[in-house]
Copies of this chain bind each other. A is one copy, B any other.
């Protein structure tokens, strides 16, 4: 065990000591100080997870009846109920000895953060389960640690939200940014403006009762809920029921494709602001958080320029550019929010000196926007680099720091960087695969937001991520278990071993590759190989690492070379059985060539390794021919790509005598 154990995020300060606190069915929690509802329910959940993971018939059912029980193994001390708001105290200390554990915090938020650490510390040996002796003093580096889920493009049922809130709590995230409206659907019941959800959705929306339920569920776990209503662009779903809010007079339909639509709110009509006052007044009392996110991204002025009234309005108000008009609109909106005691948050396009200084800028287009915003004195949250829908590796996100050490910002500016948010846009996710897009990678992002900035060891991050991922399954998250389910459906069979061998080394295409020339609508199937395949495919990653390490010395490490041969042989031999699977499954036809290429590159890799092993040098022609083939094999088919080509390329180059 290295010095972080299986903890993720790594605590601010931690040191393991000799000794083990044994966990048996007699395990008990006692509380000193306040026993808040959050503490009570948190303890119960902790006991249930402990019991579930160990199979122990843990006796204790509640904590309220064991105050000041000095015999209890876990002694909790807590001074006050935490407020679920920005900058609340989340500090805790956890001291475990062979006899007892002491978890102390000023707030019950700190306590529940510490409970997650306690559960992550659970380990076992041949005598049973234990918590290793340890001293932890822990607090977050950033106060704003978020996950955004877009529930507009594909509606996500409440159970998806709930299990992801549990996942967030497990890795100490504290802001659920709920993207609730966009061109493809308006997802909140509005009693004041009911045509928003009635006509702006396919009847898939959250009732106010359900919203309140989620807010309370999140609050129990120390998570704020920041709703987003994207304006003045991304607003088609508003206009279906209320076309008078739009900048052109037309009939609107909920969008079923993905692009930047020209539709926009009419900022030149006073009625618009009356409507928004009513609507945001209602939402302000529904959502208790201090912040409301108003979007503000990707606004086009196509319609504003065409409407004579808007053109006239601009002129008479001295607004020259599109940006001037957007600023006018968002300032009016800001006044409305302020009237309802809310602060504004928006994507980085809203940055403007006239913004209320409490407004939070969420930078998505690039870090230069974050820098501009903090230089202008605005608090900031970084989303750029954390777009998990773009399916990059955990390592990629992990290395993205909201406030890098080498930053040229001064301390005051750095202090304005509140943290970051992982962003799960939902063009290409259903309730079946959204978890595998969020987890486990978001745990690595959560570590970036919580842990000291010098916690940067990628290999160790991946080691701990595996364990976290396993434990996230306890919370109902489906990132692991739905993988084989997808493969069974694709194959139309339980016999998926060969298909899994392929799926293990492919990934969905990354960044915006799937968006380009996409045939997708909101109705399209999300059950293809690209939807089953997971970002950051572990087997492929491990293989690339193996080849890298194998070539680290000269001559290459023989054990690693043998291991590499075993993998390549598996892939080569896999092909016949895989072909049988594919020819019985029309839904797999689109990856038939890619599957064949895996066998071929495996053969090439084996040929290369054999040359290397026999200390022969491949001819230049051979290297060129194989390289041409690898270039082809690397191309996506069916929107998935083989993730072991680069490693085989390395073998080929080495076989050809390149350093």
Binding site for B on A (CB under 8 A): 48, 51-58, 61, 124, 126, 128-129, 157-159, 207, 209, 256, 431-432, 466, 470, 473-474, 476, 478, 480-482, 484-485, 488-490, 492-494, 519-521, 523-528, 583-587, 590
**Contact A51/B586 with A489-B473, A494-B466 known, Cβ cut-off 8 Å:** no
Residue on B nearest A124 in the bound complex, by CB: B586
List 10 tightest A-B contacts by C-beta distance, closest first.
A55-B587, A481-B481, A51-B525, A159-B159, A52-B527, A128-B586, A55-B528, A481-B485, A124-B586, A57-B524
A194 to chain B, nearest CB (A): 17
CA distance A54 to B586 in the complex (A): 7
Residue on B nearest A531 in the bound complex, by CB: B55
Q: A57-B524, A157-B159 are in contact. List 9 more A-B contacts (CB 8 A).
A: A52-B526, A54-B525, A55-B587, A209-B209, A470-B489, A480-B488, A481-B481, A481-B485, A484-B484
Residue on B nearest A538 in the bound complex, by CB: B494
Residues of B within 8 A of A54 (CB): 525, 586-587
Residues of B within 8 A of A470 (CB): 488-489, 492-494
A635 to chain B, nearest CB (A): 20
A473 touches which of B53, B256, B485 (Cβ 8 Å): B485
Residue on B nearest A126 in the bound complex, by CB: B583
Residues of B within 8 A of A126 (CB): 583
A79 to chain B, nearest CB (A): 26
Residues of B within 8 A of A585 (CB): 124
**Contact A53/B527 with A209-B209, A484-B484, A585-B124 known, Cβ cut-off 8 Å:** yes
List 10 A-B pairs, Cβ < 8 Å: A48-B523, A53-B489, A57-B525, A124-B584, A128-B586, A207-B209, A470-B492, A480-B485, A481-B485, A484-B484
| Most chain B beta-carbon neighbours within 10 Å: one of A158, A480, A490, A492 | A492
Residues of B within 8 A of A159 (CB): 157-159
Contact, CB under 8 Å: B527 / A489: no
Residues of B within 8 A of A51 (CB): 523-525, 527
A586 touches which of B129, B524, B527 (Cβ 8 Å): B129
CA distance A474 to B431 in the complex (A): 12
Residue on B nearest A522 in the bound complex, by CB: B61
CA distance A528 to B126 in the complex (A): 18
CA distance A128 to B51 in the complex (A): 48
Contact, CB under 8 Å: A57 / B489: no
A498 to chain B, nearest CB (A): 16
A571 to chain B, nearest CB (A): 19
CA distance A276 to B322 in the complex (A): 67
A475 to chain B, nearest CB (A): 11
| Most chain B beta-carbon neighbours within 10 Å: one of A57, A523, A528 | A523
CA distance A48 to B202 in the complex (A): 14
A46 to chain B, nearest CB (A): 13
A62 to chain B, nearest CB (A): 10
Residues of B within 8 A of A489 (CB): 52-53, 470, 473-474
CA distance A621 to B235 in the complex (A): 84
Residues of B within 8 A of A53 (CB): 489, 492, 527, 587
CA distance A482 to B476 in the complex (A): 10
A254 to chain B, nearest CB (A): 11
Contact, CB under 8 Å: B480 / A55: no
Residues of B within 8 A of A526 (CB): 52
Residues of B within 8 A of A524 (CB): 51, 57
Residue on B nearest A47 in the bound complex, by CB: B523
Contact, CB under 8 Å: A525 / B56: yes
Residue on B nearest A523 in the bound complex, by CB: B61
Residues of B within 8 A of A494 (CB): 466, 470
Contact, CB under 8 Å: B124 / A492: yes
Residue on B nearest A56 in the bound complex, by CB: B525
